[in-house]
């Protein structure tokens, strides 16, 4: 009887100790999870940076995953200027390399014609620079980047901070600079006056209706507007470093568009990098895999 009672007591004590150890372990895991959450702050979504005639323009902010004040990449989505959304951010892994990212929505061409898109993006730049302390970003290390139509808009915004027709002070923070420290264009346009002549038949089927919606007609019918919308027309020796990334099998955006912008940069003796993704078409994983984003991070660190 006594031995049976002793065994029962020992079993209870063992079960109690097991439970206590489980609780301690669980507490430890919870503390670890809380620490990880604190060190990896979540995105801030749908922040209004401007409001135009009742239409709210928003951005999503992805904080850097490393402590301290961060350089900022302002991301401009693609979609032939007429579609797309700020939630498409293929460069998000760069937050692990110390960069914060702000992805902007802007008025699409079905809602407003050019230069509304540039006006909106510059309003976003002024908003972010004016709230640099709030976001923990360095206002002197703001980079603009985008893909496809977003690459075109990023390049145009980056080289036109002195172009009066492309400013939009009425959208807020009028005395704040829109200058950026660097530009990255993933397979973007650079010259709307030559793009159709360079396009494949497949490319024309997409590009012609997109340009009509953006400009109000084909570039040949809107030559002054097409010139204003072309980054190559605004490059001068004061412009920031530029990185161009383009696939050599792109059927939608002729690689010559990137070559043209590279040539203008070189003539102005400006820093320009050009990475050709061999065998790649218009977008896809080859542009945003670990090796490609590491190349982008390294280039930004150098410039």
Res. 40 pLDDT band, cuts 50 70 90: confident
For residue 142, list its beta bridge partners. 72
Instruction: Check if CATH label 3.40.50.1820 holds for domain 42-302.
Output: yes
70 near 139, Cβ under 8 Å?
no
Rounded CA gap, 303 and 258, in Å? Answer: 20
In this model, does residue 37 exceed pLDDT 60? no
Whole-angstrom CA distances from 254 to 45, 47, 83 are: 34, 35, 20
Query: In this structure, are strands 100-104 and 55-62 parallel, antiparallel, or unpaired?
Result: antiparallel
Res. 203 pLDDT band, cuts 50 70 90: confident
- Give me the residue label for tokens 């929505």: 105
In this model, does residue 89 exceed pLDDT 90? yes
188 near 147, Cβ under 8 Å?
yes
In this model, does residue 250 exceed pLDDT 80? yes
Give me 70's structure tokens: 């961060």
What residue ranges do the domains of the chain occupy?
Answer: 1-39, 42-302
Q: Quote the pLDDT of residue 69.
A: 97
H or E element in which residue 143 lies:
strand 137-147
pTM: 0.87
pLDDT digits (tens, 9 = 90+) for 112-123: 999 999 999 999
Which whole number is the average pLDDT over 155-172? 94
242 near 182, Cβ under 8 Å?
yes
């Amino acid at each position: 009887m006594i031995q049976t009672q002793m065994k029962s007591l020992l079993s209870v004590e063992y079960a109690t100790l097991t439970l206590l150890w489980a609780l301690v372990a669980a507490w430890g895991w919870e503390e670890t999870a809380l620490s990880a959450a604190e060190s990896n702050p979540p995105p801030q979504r749908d922040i209004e940076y401007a409001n135009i005639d009742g239409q709210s323009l928003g951005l999503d902010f992805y904080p850097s995953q490393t402590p301290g004040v961060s350089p900022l990449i302002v991301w401009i989505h693609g979609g032939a200027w007429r579609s797309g959304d700020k939630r498409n951010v293929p460069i998000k892994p760069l937050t692990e390399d110390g960069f914060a990212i702000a992805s902007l929505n802007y008025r699409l061409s079905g809602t407003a014609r050019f230069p509304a898109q540039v006006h909106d993006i510059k309003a976003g730049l002024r908003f972010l620079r004016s709230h640099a302390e709030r976001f923990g970003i360095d206002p002197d290390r703001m980079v603009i980047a985008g893909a496809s139509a977003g690459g075109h808009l990023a390049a145009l915004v980056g080289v036109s901070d002195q172009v009066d027709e492309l400013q939009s002070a009425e959208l807020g923070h009028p005395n704040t600079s829109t200058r950026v420290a660097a530009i990255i264009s993933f397979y973007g346009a650079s010259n709307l006056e030559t793009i159709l002549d360079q396009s494949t038949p497949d490319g024309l089927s997409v590009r012609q209706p997109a340009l009509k919606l953006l400009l109000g007609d084909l570039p040949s019918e809107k030559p002054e507007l097409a010139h204003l919308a072309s980054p190559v027309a605004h490059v001068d020796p004061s412009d920031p470093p530029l990185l161009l990334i383009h696939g050599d099998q792109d059927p939608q955006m002729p690689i010559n568009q990137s070559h043209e912008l590279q040539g203008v940069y070189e003539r102005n003796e400006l820093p320009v990098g050009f990475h050709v993704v061999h065998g790649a078409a218009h977008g896809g994983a080859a542009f945003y895999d670990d090796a490609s984003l590491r190349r982008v991070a390294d280039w930004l660190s150098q410039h």
